[in-house]
């Protein structure tokens, strides 16, 4: 019976929650961790380094063309202007470089040799990012790969493929979608996805959702 299954799942989740809570209390009581250690770790993923930083950078670039130019010319210096969370500029972020999509150009980020990824601005890479097939095809036939992601790129548009490495970690400034006149930076940032900043998606227009 489906209602029995739901009840079973609810009880199972509640039992797991109680056990995790007991373990945390025990480890704090024993002095293994501090009372704020868990929050500090989670904060790293939820507040310090993640796709919310990249979205803010892109939103600023959309509303401020001079910032956008500085971002392309000297990415770390431009990012420093934004006062993003302290600690976001770790080793994975120190050599970031932005490339911008435009009317005649679409950028795609891959990483053929490793899994180099600008974590501080994009967060955790998706499952397929480390897939050797994606890496190889991204170089060999980027248009076909993009088509499969639902991003058909016309023959009149140049596709540039950027290979992230330990030296440079690329991210894309996608094009600002239509129907966003008058949007605040915060509203714009909410539209930006990590996939758009990898070049495997476009930022959807709010009315197209």
- Between 132 and 182, whose beta carbon lies closer to other proteins? 132
Could you give the CA distance from residue 73 to residue 50 in angstroms, rounded to a whole number?
A: 23
Q: Using the structure block, give the residue that is written with the tokens 């480890």.
A: 27
**CA proximity to 98, closest of 138, 128, 132, 57:** 57
- Can residue 139 be called a binding residue for other proteins (CB under 8 A)? no
The question of whether 35 is a catalytic residue gets the answer no
- Between 90 and 152, whose beta carbon lies closer to other proteins? 90
Contact 161, 106 (CB under 8 A): no
The end-to-end CA distance of the chain, in Å, is 36
- Can residue 91 be called a binding residue for other proteins (CB under 8 A)? yes
Given candidates 6, 73, 77, 115, which one binds other proteins under the rule CB under 8 A?
115
The question of whether 37 is a catalytic residue gets the answer no
- Between 37 and 184, whose beta carbon lies closer to other proteins? 37
The question of whether 205 is a catalytic residue gets the answer no
Given candidates 6, 7, 33, 77, which one binds other proteins under the rule CB under 8 A?
33
Could you give the CA distance from residue 52 to residue 192 in angstroms, rounded to a whole number?
A: 9
């Amino acid at each position: 019976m489906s209602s029995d299954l739901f009840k079973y799942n609810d009880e199972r989740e509640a039992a797991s929650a109680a056990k995790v809570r007991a373990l945390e209390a025990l480890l704090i009581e024993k002095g293994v961790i501090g009372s704020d250690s868990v929050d500090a770790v989670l904060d790293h993923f939820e507040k310090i380094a993640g796709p919310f930083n990249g979205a803010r950078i892109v939103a600023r670039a959309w509303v401020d063309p001079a910032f956008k130019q500085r971002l392309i010319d000297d990415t770390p210096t431009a990012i420093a202007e934004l006062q993003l969370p302290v600690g976001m500029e770790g080793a994975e972020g120190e050599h970031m470089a932005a490339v911008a999509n435009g009317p005649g150009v679409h950028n795609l980020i891959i990483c053929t040799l490793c899994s180099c990824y600008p974590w501080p601005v994009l967060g955790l890479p998706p499952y397929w990012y480390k897939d050797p097939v994606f890496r190889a095809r991204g170089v060999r036939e980027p248009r076909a790969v993009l088509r499969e992601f639902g991003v058909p790129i016309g023959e009149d548009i140049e596709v540039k493929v950027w290979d992230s490495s330990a030296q440079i970690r690329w991210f894309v400034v996608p094009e600002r979608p239509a129907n966003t006149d008058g949007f605040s930076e915060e509203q714009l940032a909410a539209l930006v996805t990590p996939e758009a900043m990898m070049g495997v998606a476009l930022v959807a227009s709010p009315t197209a959702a």
